[in-house]
């Protein structure tokens, strides 16, 4: 029985060379639509699918490979005499190699203003069916969904070494690919129906890179990108120079981008161990960096500096004075890029779109626990302006109120329990990750030092006792912003009134664990 290969691909990468290699090995090529045309234009003779099925393609191509002549040839077990006798009786041949990749559903739904009808039309039916049939019969059919595997299969065919283990690998790739494909479809449909937390949650991610190790050297690790990742996400970063990113680099950088997304003005944020150690909004990247550095010159060492504006030479020259792991920005001046080359191990990342905050509404956060997954919508808002309530006799003046909002944006991204002290749109002290709030307050105020006099303070959750207000008063804080809601709120209010501190409640907590 003549060996046959069925080729039907939307991505034509490498398909002509692959087909020519199969022809040299004596395979008859079966093809469909655009693939058949591409092969003929490049001198590869092939049979159209209708010649095999003896049935015309119909319904605008929706039905062409969904036919027993195709699927019997894929699913017949060659070692089963009954199967082979049935093929012979029906006048059907086997199909021994399948190369299929699917309608571009992902690319379709990523297009702006794509219609629901267009998205649905790009749901492949025949392709996944052929892939799954061929993969089920892996011992007899070599099935390829990835053009990168064409060359290896040809090499193995020429050497007579198409092992069962290799076919099992191809089988695995098929089911992984179709699982992701179906996940993209189900997630798209869930969004259309405003289903935030479906009964069965499927997530589609593709490996971006293997990591040298995980959080610690004895742990293995890898980085997976969301299949529908936005251009301003970390998975879309272009690494302009430096070593590969580590697990901790990626985790810290993600935290930096989350905080950076709070600001539309020119900003720089500094992050160490996924915690902000500096943040500033200024007129230039240089001024923003200097202010972020001054907030904590010790912690920023070995940390990350992230910007939402193009980095110029002046900022670059300032940053290379210390050891930084990563610099992130939407772009860099050519002379700034030259400056960074003085430190070849410094990782310099370019991420488009950072100059414009992105809405996080509809984005899900997930945390893996042993035996399950915690899922929530992302903490996408700061607070509702309508909920802002002055609770002290003195109200913050206009300048204080602006500083309070800045400080609250920073503390939202500090590990809980979290406190941030700010002045002049700079975070001059942060305290985070503490098991009680007073320790976080003392830590933040200690880091701020004398600069705390005349500054403002933000807390990610309410004051359970009046001790935080007392510490703020001792340090010279003039205004406080916090969610409020403690049964002891009045005690903190009384302390603020005693010392002339303005305090506002916003009714929205920002725990971050």
Q: Which residues are catalytic?
A: 136, 273
Which residues, other chains included, contact 342 with Cβ-Cβ below 8 Å and sequence gap of 6+? 320
The DSSP symbol for 284 reads S
Q: Which residues pair with 222 in a beta bridge?
A: 210
Task: Find where tokens 């798209």 sit.
Answer: 188
Beta strands in 128-215 (DSSP E): 142-144, 205-211
Instruction: Show the 3-state SS of 72-115.
Output: HHHHCCCCCHHHHHHHHHHCCCCCCEEEEECCCHHHHHCCCCCC
Helix locations, 417-488, DSSP H = 437-448, 467-475
Write the DSSP symbol of residue 58: B
Could you give phi then psi for residue 143, rounded to 5 degrees? -120, 130
Tell me the CA distances in angstroms from 41 to 19, 31, 46, 218, 425, one per residue in order. Answer: 13, 13, 11, 53, 63
Q: What are phi and psi of 276, to 5 degrees?
A: -65, 130
Rounded to the nearest 10 degrees, what angle do helices 489-499 and 467-475 cross at? 20
* Cα atoms in the 13 Å half-sphere on the side-chain side of 275: 20
Q: Residue 363 corresponds to which tokens in the numbers above? A: 């984005």
Query: What is the helix, strand, coil percentage profile of the chain, to 5?
Result: 40, 20, 40
Residue that the structure tokens 């010279």 belong to: 476
Q: Check if the beta carbon of residue 454 is closer than 8 Å to that of residue 470.
A: no
The H or E element containing residue 23 is helix 15-24
CA distances from 430 to 26, 141, 418, 445, 458 (A): 71, 61, 7, 8, 10
User: Tell me, what DSSP letter sits at residue 63?
Assistant: B
Neighbours of 402 (CB within 10 A): 14
Helix (H/G/I), strand (E/B), else coil: 508? coil
With contact defined as beta carbons under 8 Å apart, do 305 and 290 qualify?
Answer: no
């Amino acid at each position: 029985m003549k060996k046959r290969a069925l080729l039907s691909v939307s991505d034509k990468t490498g398909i002509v060379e692959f087909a020519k290699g199969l022809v040299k090995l004596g395979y008859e090529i079966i093809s469909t639509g655009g693939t058949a045309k591409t092969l003929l234009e490049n001198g590869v003779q092939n049979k159209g699918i209708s010649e095999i099925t003896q049935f015309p393609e119909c319904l605008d191509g929706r039905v062409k490979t969904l036919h027993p002549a195709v699927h019997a040839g894929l699913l017949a077990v060659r070692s089963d005499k009954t199967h082979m006798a049935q093929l012979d009786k029906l006048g059907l041949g086997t199909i021994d190699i399948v190369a299929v990749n699917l309608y571009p559903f992902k690319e379709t739904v990523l297009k702006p203003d794509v219609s629901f009808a267009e998205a649905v039309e790009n749901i492949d039916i025949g392709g996944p069916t052929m892939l799954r049939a061929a993969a089920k019969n892996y011992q007899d059919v070599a099935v390829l969904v990835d053009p990168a595997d064409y060359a290896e299969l040809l090499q193995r065919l020429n050497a007579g070494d198409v092992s069962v283990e290799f076919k099992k690998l191809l089988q695995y790739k098929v089911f992984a690919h179709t699982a992701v494909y179906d996940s993209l479809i189900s997630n798209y449909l869930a969004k259309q129906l405003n289903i935030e937390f479906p009964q069965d949650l499927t997530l589609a991610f593709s490996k971006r890179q293997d990591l040298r190790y995980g959080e610690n050297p004895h742990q293995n690790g890898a980085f997976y990108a969301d299949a529908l990742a936005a251009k301003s996400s970390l998975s879309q970063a272009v690494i302009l120079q430096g070593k590969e990113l580590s697990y901790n680099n990626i985790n810290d950088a993600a935290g930096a981008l989350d905080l950076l997304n709070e600001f539309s003005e020119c900003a720089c944020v500094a992050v160490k161990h996924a915690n902000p150690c500096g943040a500033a909004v200024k007129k230039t990247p240089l001024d923003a960096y200097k202010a972020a550095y001054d907030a904590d010159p010790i912690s920023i060492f070995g940390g990350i500096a992230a910007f939402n504006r193009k980095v110029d030479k002046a900022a670059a020259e300032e940053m290379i004075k210390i050891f930084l792991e990563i610099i992130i920005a939407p772009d860099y001046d050519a002379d700034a890029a030259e400056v960074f080359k003085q430190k070849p191990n410094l990782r310099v990342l370019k991420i488009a779109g950072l100059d414009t905050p992105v809405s996080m509404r509809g984005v899900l956060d997930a945390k893996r626990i042993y035996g399950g997954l915690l899922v929530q919508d992302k903490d996408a808002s700061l607070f509702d302006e309508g909920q802002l309530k002055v609770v002290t006799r003195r109200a913050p003046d206009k300048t204080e109120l602006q500083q309070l909002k800045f400080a609250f944006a920073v503390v939202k991204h500090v590990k809980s329990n979290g406190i941030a002290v700010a002045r002049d749109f700079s975070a001059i002290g942060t305290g985070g990750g503490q098991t009680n709030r007073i320790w976080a307050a003392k830590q933040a105020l200690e880091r701020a030092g004398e600069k705390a006099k005349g500054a403002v303070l933000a807390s990610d959750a309410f004051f359970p006792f009046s001790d935080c207000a007392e510490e703020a008063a001792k340090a010279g804080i003039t205004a406080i912003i916090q969610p409020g809601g403690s049964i002891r709120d009045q005690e903190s209010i009384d302390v603020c009134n005693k010392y002339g501190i303005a305090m506002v409640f916003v009714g929205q907590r920002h725990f971050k664990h």
